[in-house]
């Protein structure tokens, strides 16, 4: 096992609240362990462009409460090419960096694996993944950094919508993020008391939605952006003729669409996400120091672990039989 002298950290893919807490934990803990810590700006794009610089104790002051990521993030088509990965490897080798920790989602994990796997990887250093995405769609971990904050942000918005829905007797279809995984929609639906939740893992039941509308005066319907009917606007169009069919003088259901979009990614991270990010960061550093590589940090049944493979398929909501 080689002695680790320098590590580099980066955030990649979509930003998630808590990434700054990951950066802070990685830098402070790494320095405490006697390691030099380097930051990479804009993820894999910065790795190719050599936007890499040393970080000190003061580099991460006053960031733990901020959303986004101080290291920035970007997507890189160039890194998907062999030439791009070879350029990135040369940059790390020139700085004599021994290991790389990346906080991101499934695409970021795939990038790490293609970069350093023993079969056809171009870099010989150690790599560890830390799950950072609001979608909570990484298999092998119960929660990802940013998920808790995103759910709380969406619930707060829906609480406000419920007030105006009650005042006017209106129904709302609220679209939340989740292209392949319905975790955000399901959690938000339960926490906000929604009457129906449409997610990619199940077929949307239009008849069931119409039945609930007949019973209540102001429904909240949650739909994940990746649902098979499309998003909120598409669902509203599908429901339109059904609403016309049940319209009476006493009951005139009217829908409004609200797409929360990237609002869910921003804002101050919750205490839960800050603690999770810090614990995952220190676990990742410890993994490097003990010679681990091509692994991902995870939390299972409340315990932080390092038993997940770096490349995992997208997680989906488990639907009871």
Integer Cα distance of 306 and 299 in angstroms: 9
Question: What are the DSSP calls for 169-183, one per residue?
Answer: T-EEEEEE--SS--H
For 282, phi then psi, to 5°, come to: -65, -35
Integer Cα distance of 70 and 76 in angstroms: 18
Instruction: Go through 153-178 and write b for each residue having 16 or more CB atoms within 10 A of its CB, e for each that does not.
Output: bbbebbeebbeebeeeebbbbbbbbb
Catalytic residue IDs:
135
Q: What angle do CA 42, 305, 37 make, to 5 degrees?
A: 35
For 131, phi then psi, to 5°, come to: -75, 110
For the chain, how big is the Rg over CA atoms in Å? 22
Q: Where are the beta strands (DSSP E) in 90-167?
A: 99-104, 126-131
Lookup: tokens for 3 = 């002695």
For 62, phi then psi, to 5°, come to: 60, 40
């Amino acid at each position: 096992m080689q002695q680790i002298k320098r590590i580099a950290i980066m955030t990649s893919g979509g930003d998630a609240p808590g990434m700054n807490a990951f950066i802070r934990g990685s830098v402070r803990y790494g320095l405490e362990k006697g390691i030099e810590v380097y930051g990479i700006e804009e993820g894999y794009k910065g790795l190719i462009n050599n936007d890499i610089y040393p970080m000190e104790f003061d580099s991460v002051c006053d960031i733990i409460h901020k959303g986004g990521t101080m290291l920035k993030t970007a997507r890189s088509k160039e890194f998907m090419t062999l030439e791009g990965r070879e350029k990135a490897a040369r940059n790390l080798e020139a700085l004599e960096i021994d290991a790389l920790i990346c906080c991101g989602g499934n695409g970021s994990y795939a990038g790490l694996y293609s970069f350093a796997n023993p079969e056809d990887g171009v870099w010989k250093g150690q790599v560890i993944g830390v799950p950072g995405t609001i979608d909570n769609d990484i298999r092998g971990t119960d929660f990802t950094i940013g998920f808790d904050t995103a759910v709380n942000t969406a619930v707060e918005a829906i609480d406000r919508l419920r007030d105006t829905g009650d005042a006017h007797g209106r129904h709302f279809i609220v679209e939340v993020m989740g292209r392949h995984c319905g975790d955000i929609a399901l959690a938000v639906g339960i926490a906000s008391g929604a009457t129906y939740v449409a997610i990619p893992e199940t077929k949307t039941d239009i008849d069931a939605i119409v039945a609930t509308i007949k019973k209540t005066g102001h429904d909240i319907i949650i739909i994940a952006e990746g649902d098979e009917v499309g998003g909120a606007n598409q669902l509203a169009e599908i429901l339109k003729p059904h609403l016309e069919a049940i319209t009476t003088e006493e009951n005139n259901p009217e829908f409004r669409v609200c797409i929360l979009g990237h609002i869910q990614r921003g804002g101050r991270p919750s205490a839960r996400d800050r603690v999770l990010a810090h614990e995952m960061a220190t676990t990742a550093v410890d993994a490097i120091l003990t010679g681990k590589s091509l692994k991902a940090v995870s939390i299972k049944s409340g315990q932080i672990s390092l038993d997940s493979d770096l490349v995992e398929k997208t997680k989906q909501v488990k639907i009871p039989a």
